[in-house]
Structure formats: structure tokens, C-alpha cells
Amino acid sequence: MTTVGVGMVGHAFMGRAHSQAWRSVGPFFGPPLTPVMAALAGRSAERAGAAARELGWASVETDWKELLRRDDVQLVDICTPGDGHAEIAVAALDAGKHVLCEKPLANSVAEAEAMVAAAERARARGVRSMVGFNYRRVPAVALARDLVAEGRIGAVRHVRAQYLQDWLTDPESPFTWRMDRDRAGSGALGDIGAHIIDTAQFITGHAVTGVSALMDTFVHERPMPGGGTGQVTVDDAALFIGRTDGGALASFEATRVATGRKNALRIEVSGSSGALSFDLESLNELWFHDATEDAATAGFRRIVVTEPVHPYAGHWWPPGHALGYEHTFTHQMADLLTAIADGADPSPSFADGLQVQRVLDAVQRSASSGGGWAAVEGTPVGSV
């Protein structure tokens, strides 16, 4: 049995999710490469040590650069905040380590471009890279992509994508680094807006080419945990409409103040002969309308995406048994390990991540201009 040693950087929310996936991918997917959870890197030896014990990592490093020097680490899994992605990923790739990097790929287009360049250099040497847009691997989302690719909805004309959360509705919700522009880059836009841009481009196979955007902040000061208040310098919400290189009209909304919506990543795609609809709050369901059916019985079908014939689902339980949020990460690890073993490029690539970054950049330019049109700069790239 061939193994691949994994070194993970970061052990917060994403580190926990990735750890569960590294533990689960073996039993359920029997991948061609067996991951070995070799080392966890974190700044504090104490906290990283506790996390390693809890999450199942064999050793600890307090400097992520040590991972690059270890022979038992062949893959670096980057779970840090976005401002660390570029440095770690470029160094790891240049050191010959495969890289899985959390989304969004970077905090700027320039960083993302440097990462794509590093990924291209590495690829020439058989070293692989992947960005963690995990929602591509919700079975219902993967099925949606397949149906579009098979032509089941015809030419895509409309995309309506929303990512609605409500955790900042309450003005007493405390200030964190996520509300500070210097550290987070943006608010709802980069955090959840990035997801709907990627999901929309993934399902349709189109790239967004330009946007008109509005962003706003509804609560400008929030209490600091230690007392006093912090100034919110990022967006609570971002709205934009745009066009795609495939001729579709698209609308997007990312907001953390959509009262009552907990995690509603919703996407509806209308084509010339069918349509699809998805909501992450009901993640085991895909709605599909086939306009070629008899008019008397046509309608949106609620497909329960838990059957052996559906993407990923057959690896888990018998038909009809629901999956959850965490399974998307296990799917991601399975596909990554398979690609490495096959000498193939995994998807989504860093180039896919750059394309999302360019759309985010256009959204910010448009919003800064007061809602004017902003083209997405750069040639559409990647394996979208």
C-alpha cells in the first residue's frame, strides 16, 4: 500500500474539518494512496499539541517551514487564514510538496497570480495543487454540474446565486478579525461570495466576465470581547449582477444579515431546455426541471441525491441515507489522492481560484465606483 504523508498548517474550523476528512477517506473511499496524518503545524506548541492529540496528528511543528523539510511529508494542507496562503503555498510547491489550499485562494489577484505561476512550475515536475472549494463536492452540486455538461438543461441563460447567512444580524454579535478589512480583505464578499462565484462557474462551465456591484455595511460598530467597540471596515453584504462568457445573465448576493437564513447557499440555473435549483440548507436535494417533458406532467423534481448512481453517495451508506457538510471534505481528499496517484491535475485548480479572485476584484472595483460596470480582468483561466 502506497502512502502519502500529510502536513497540515492551522487547526481551527477548517483544520478540524480537514482532519475528519483525512481520517475518513480511507475507510469509505479506499483511495489509491493512503494518507498518513504526519504533522500538524501551529504557532503555539501547546495549542498545536493539544489539537494534534485531539484530531489524530502524529507530530507537531511550530514553524510551517519545517514541514517542507520533512521527508515524511509529501502533501501540505493549508488551513490558515487567507493572508498566509500565498507564502505557504508557493514555498511548498517550490519545495516539491503537493498542496491543498483552502479557499479563497488568496487575498488579492497579485497573490493568486503568483500562486498560479508556482502551481504551473510545480506541475511540470509532477507536483499537484488544488484549491478547497469544497461545495463542488456536495453530491447534489456535482450532479448539477453533470446534468449541465450532458446538455440536460440546454444553453444556460440565467444564474441566480445567493449565499445568505444571518450571524451578523444582531448588533451585539462581537467584533472579530473577520470585520477588519486589513486582516480579512473583505467581509461577506470574500468569505461566502467566493463560494457562490465558484459554484456558479463550476455548475455552468461559464466564466463571469463583468459585473455591476453594490456593497454595504449595516452595523458599523460592534462590541469588543474585552470591552469597548471595534469599527467594522468590511461589507456585511455584497450584491452584483453580471454577464458570463457563455452568454448568461447572472445575479449574486452574499450577506451575513439575511435574518433567519443560516447557511442558505442557493443557486438556480435556467437553460433553454431545463433548469436546476439547489439550497445548501437542504444539501441532499437537487431540483431539476426537464422542459422537454410533456407539459401536463412537467415540473421541478426533488431528486434525493443519496443513491448509488449519484456522485460520491455510493461510497457511504445504503440508498436514502443523508450526508452532511463534512462529507464534502472527504470527497475532496479522495479526489485529490486519486489525482496524485494518477499523475493528473486535480480540480479545482489554482487557476480556478485565480478566476474567482478576479471576479471578487471586479466586484470591489464596481462597488467602489458606486455601482458602475467593471470588467473581470485577465483571460478566463483554469479547468473551470
Directed axis angle between helix 45-55 and helix 13-29, to 10°?
30
Neighbours of 80 (CB within 10 A): 22
Cα→Cα distances 66→7, 22, 59, 72, Å: 10, 21, 12, 11
Cβ-Cβ contacts under 8 Å for 371 (sequence gap 6 or more): 212, 213, 214
Closest distance between a second copy and the C-beta of residue 218, in Å?
Answer: 5
* 174 binding a second copy? (CB under 8 A): no
- CA–CA distance, 235 with 6 (Å, rounded to integer): 35
Is residue 380 reached through a cis peptide bond, with omega within 30 degrees of 0 on the bond before it?
no
Size of the site for a second copy (CB under 8 A): 101
Stretch that binds a second copy, among 3-11, 122-130, 166-174, 194-202 (CB under 8 A): 166-174
Stretch that binds a second copy, among 103-111, 126-134, 199-207, 277-285 (CB under 8 A): 277-285
Pairing of strands 156-164, 264-271: antiparallel
**DSSP 3-state of 240:** strand
DSSP lists the bridge partners of residue 285 as 304
- Segment 39-78, which members bind a second copy (CB under 8 A)? 54-56
* 310 binding a second copy? (CB under 8 A): yes
* 296 binding a second copy? (CB under 8 A): yes
**DSSP 3-state of 369:** coil
- CA–CA distance, 187 with 8 (Å, rounded to integer): 25
Stretch that binds a second copy, among 77-85, 106-114, 294-302, 351-359 (CB under 8 A): 294-302
* 301 binding a second copy? (CB under 8 A): yes
Closest distance between a second copy and the C-beta of residue 24, in Å?
Answer: 7
> Whose Cβ is closer to a second copy: residue 63's or residue 170's?
170
Closest distance between a second copy and the C-beta of residue 115, in Å?
Answer: 27
* 284 binding a second copy? (CB under 8 A): yes
Choice from 243, 331, 353, 363 touching a second copy (CB under 8 A) = 243
Say which amino acid occupies 128.
R
Choice from 35, 185, 274, 348 touching a second copy (CB under 8 A) = 274
Choice from 142, 258, 333, 359 touching a second copy (CB under 8 A) = 258
> Whose Cβ is closer to a second copy: residue 69's or residue 321's?
321
Cα→Cα distances 29→184, 200, 253, 338, Å: 35, 27, 35, 10
Closest distance between a second copy and the C-beta of residue 98, in Å?
Answer: 24
> Whose Cβ is closer to a second copy: residue 82's or residue 346's?
82
Say which amino acid occupies 288.
F
Closest distance between a second copy and the C-beta of residue 120, in Å?
Answer: 33
Choice from 263, 378, 380, 381 touching a second copy (CB under 8 A) = 263
Cβ-Cβ contacts under 8 Å for 364 (sequence gap 6 or more): 186, 189, 213, 215
Stretch that binds a second copy, among 94-102, 129-137, 225-233, 268-276 (CB under 8 A): 268-276
* 120 binding a second copy? (CB under 8 A): no
Cβ-Cβ contacts under 8 Å for 15 (sequence gap 6 or more): 8, 40, 51, 55, 79
* 172 binding a second copy? (CB under 8 A): no
* 117 binding a second copy? (CB under 8 A): no
DSSP lists the bridge partners of residue 98 as 75
> Whose Cβ is closer to a second copy: residue 21's or residue 116's?
21
What track of x and - describes contact with a second copy for positions 311 through 350 (by CB under 8 A)? Answer: -----xxxxxxxxxxxx-----------------------
